[in-house]
């Protein structure tokens, strides 16, 4: 089995040591009864390698990890999670949450993250990315406590999870809280729209994991409500959305004291999670000043959800509201829920009012609503208090809404990345779902290309809405430039993720058609690997 390299205590704190086995030291002379416990603890953590002189001793408190790992607690069908190297408290937490086996991205990411590898992983919506970064992060924090004698301190979190929206923060925090029932760690959310004083009080205590939006966390840091010198794990979730919504400068300012603090005693592990490997994400990896990253991509990245039925409805010369009502009434008869996507806030409001006038119960969800109102709408929809939620692309990323049976694209998305994100709100975790798109004349090139790619099981990310980009028969012509301009759209982007103009289209998903070049070899059901070198400098998208 592989051994764990542990930093030695300062000389003044070292217990008496006696040589017992070459390369190992023991507090009690010639007493080998506890070595079985030590080896179990090492087998759980599975760190890549060790150097004998560094391995000085193991605290007696670490035996708690070893004992819980060997007591056989938890259901036997959790073996696959144990094989990833997860300790028993986390395995039991997963069992309590109803999970029985890891997803492909969890199988690929968790073992490497446990080896302290910096990762950027991309996987389709609903693939379990949240647990893929939370599980190894929490385990690393527990190893710090049990094996390194790490002293927890007020105002000094050890892990940051940066997210673009309050709703996603609430969702991630909920998963963290459920894991903490067994793994025993503290967490809180620090996001815009929340009570500033309550957040300040939460940060003033001893908190291990902070789930935050970059802007609000930066305000707390500038006011000395939180210090980041002891942060050892940084996760950026929905990094593609973060970049396009203008969070780049805030993220850069937050990372400064984390990377260059003179008080830092250990390296920082970075994990980036995304549903699409856009050009903006690739630029961040190449030029953003981050350490070298290992890139993991699932084999179905940028492909349509396989368990969903995709239906394109010709809306030329027809009343789109009437078409929408027919779809919604059919869904309501089956007591199912519908998510309706619009490209703009103006369109979203108009559709919501039209549905109400027609007697259809619905709520709105867009960036011009305050965060409390958005959260109220989302919770009412999740609780099935209303059958229909009319939204912009703000609801297309990161949110887990497992009860959505049908997604309707009232306004067809201007690029394939938005189509992937929207369609990913249904048919999650292997369930069935339906995507209905109302297609106007101007949308025909892209909708036809998407329909063809879905039928052939091909990725969608390079498709455009320009007829000249396609060969006879519908195949995409080889690109002559690095980026296809036809997928870029006008209109400003707000921090909430919605376009302000009624004509500018919806929110872009990372600078237009984002290529999959350089993805590396893929194998079915697993993740392909590649490496991107780190680079000096910083690249972040300006707010518009």
CATH of span 308-487: 3.40.50.300
Strands, E assignment, 360-442 = 362-365, 388-391, 404-409, 433-439
Q: Look at the domain 90-298 and name its fold.
A: Rossmann fold (3.40.50)
Is pLDDT larger for residue 435 or for residue 495? 435
pLDDT of residue 479: 63
Total residue count of the chain as it appears in this document? 544
- 151 pLDDT higher than 90: no
Confidence of residue 66 (pLDDT cuts 50, 70, 90): very low
With 90 as the cut, is the pLDDT of residue 228 above it? yes
Tell the burial category of 495 from Cβ atoms under 10 Å away from its Cβ (0-12, 13-18, 19+): middle
What pLDDT is stored for residue 430 in this prediction? 76
pLDDT band of residue 257 (cuts 50, 70, 90) is confident
Other Cβ atoms closer than 10 A to 536: 7
pLDDT exceeds 70 at position 27: no
- For residue range 265-289, what is the model confidence (pLDDT) as tens digits? 778 999 999 999 998 899 889 888 8
Per residue in 409-446, pLDDT (tens digit) is 999 999 999 999 999 999 987 789 999 999 999 999 99
Q: Which of 386, 414, 385, 382 is nearest to 395 (CA)?
A: 382
Residue 197 scores a pLDDT above 70 = yes
C-alpha to C-alpha distance for 392 and 365, rounded to whole angstroms: 7
The answer to whether residues 348 and 364 touch, using CB atoms and an 8 Å cutoff, is yes
Could you tell me whether strands 18-21 and 24-26 are parallel, antiparallel, or unpaired per DSSP bridges? antiparallel
Task: Report domain extents, the chain.
Answer: 11-69, 90-298, 308-487
Question: What average pLDDT does the chain have?
Answer: 78
Q: What is the largest CA-CA distance in the chain?
A: 88
- What is the pTM for the complete model shown? 0.74
- Asked if the domains at 90-298 and 308-487 fall in one CATH topology, the answer is yes
Contact of 447 with 413, CB cutoff 8 Å = no
């Amino acid at each position: 089995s592989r051994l764990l390299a542990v930093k030695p205590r300062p000389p003044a704190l070292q217990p008496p040591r006696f040589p017992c086995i070459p390369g190992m030291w023991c507090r009690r002379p010639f007493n080998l009864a506890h070595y079985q416990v030590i080896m179990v603890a090492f087998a759980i953590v599975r760190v890549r390698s060790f150097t004998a002189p560094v391995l000085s001793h193991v605290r007696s408190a670490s035996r708690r990890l070893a004992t819980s790992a060997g007591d056989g607690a938890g259901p036997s069908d959790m073996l696959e999670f144990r094989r990833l190297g997860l300790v028993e408290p986390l395995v039991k937490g997963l069992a309590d949450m109803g999970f029985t086996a890891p997803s492909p991205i969890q199988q690929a990411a968790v073992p490497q993250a446990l080896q302290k590898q910096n990762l950027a992983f991309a996987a389709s919506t609903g693939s379990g990315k949240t647990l893929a970064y939370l599980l190894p992060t929490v385990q690393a924090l527990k190893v710090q406590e049990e094996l390194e004698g790490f002293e927890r301190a007020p105002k000094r979190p050890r892990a940051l999870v940066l997210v673009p929206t309050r709703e996603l923060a609430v969702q991630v925090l909920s998963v963290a809280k459920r894991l903490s029932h067994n793994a025993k760690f503290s967490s809180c959310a620090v996001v815009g729209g929340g009570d500033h004083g309550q957040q300040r009080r939460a940060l003033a205590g001893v908190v291990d994991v902070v789930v935050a939006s970059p802007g609000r966390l930066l305000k707390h840091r500038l006011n000395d409500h939180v210090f980041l010198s002891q942060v050892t794990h940084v996760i950026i979730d929905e990094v593609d959305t973060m970049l396009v919504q203008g969070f780049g400068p805030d993220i850069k300012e937050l990372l400064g004291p984390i990377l260059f603090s003179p008080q830092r005693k250990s390296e920082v592990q970075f994990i980036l999670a995304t549903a699409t490997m856009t050009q903006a994400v690739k630029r961040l990896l190449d030029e953003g000043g981050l350490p070298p990253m290992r890139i993991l991509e699932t084999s179905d990245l940028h492909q349509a959800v396989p368990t969903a039925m995709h239906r394109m409805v010709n809306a030329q010369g027809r009343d789109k509201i009437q078409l929408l009502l027919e779809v919604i009434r059919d869904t309501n008869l089956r007591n199912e829920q519908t998510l309706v996507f619009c490209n703009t806030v103006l369109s979203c409001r108009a559709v919501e009012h039209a549905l109400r006038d027609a007697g259809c119960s619905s709520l709105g969800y867009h960036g011009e609503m305050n965060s409390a109102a958005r959260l109220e709408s989302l919770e009412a929809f999740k609780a099935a208090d209303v059958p229909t939620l009319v939204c912009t692309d703000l609801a297309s990323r990161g949110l887990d809404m497992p009860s959505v049976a049908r997604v309707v694209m009232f306004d067809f998305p201007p690029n394939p990345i938005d189509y992937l994100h929207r369609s990913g709100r249904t048919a999650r975790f292997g369930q069935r779902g339906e995507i209905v798109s109302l297609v106007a004349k101007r949308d025909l090139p892209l909708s036809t290309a998407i329909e063809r790619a879905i039928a052939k099981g091909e990725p969608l990310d390079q498709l455009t809405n320009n007829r000249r980009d396609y060969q006879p028969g519908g195949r995409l012509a080889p690109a002559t430039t690095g980026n296809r301009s036809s997928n870029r759209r006008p209109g400003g982007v707000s921090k909430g993720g919605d376009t302000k103009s009624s004509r500018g289209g919806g929110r872009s998903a990372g600078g237009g058609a984002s290529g999959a070049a350089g993805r590396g070899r893929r194998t079915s059901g697993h993740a392909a690997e590649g490496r991107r070198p780190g680079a000096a400098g910083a690249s972040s998208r300006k707010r518009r």
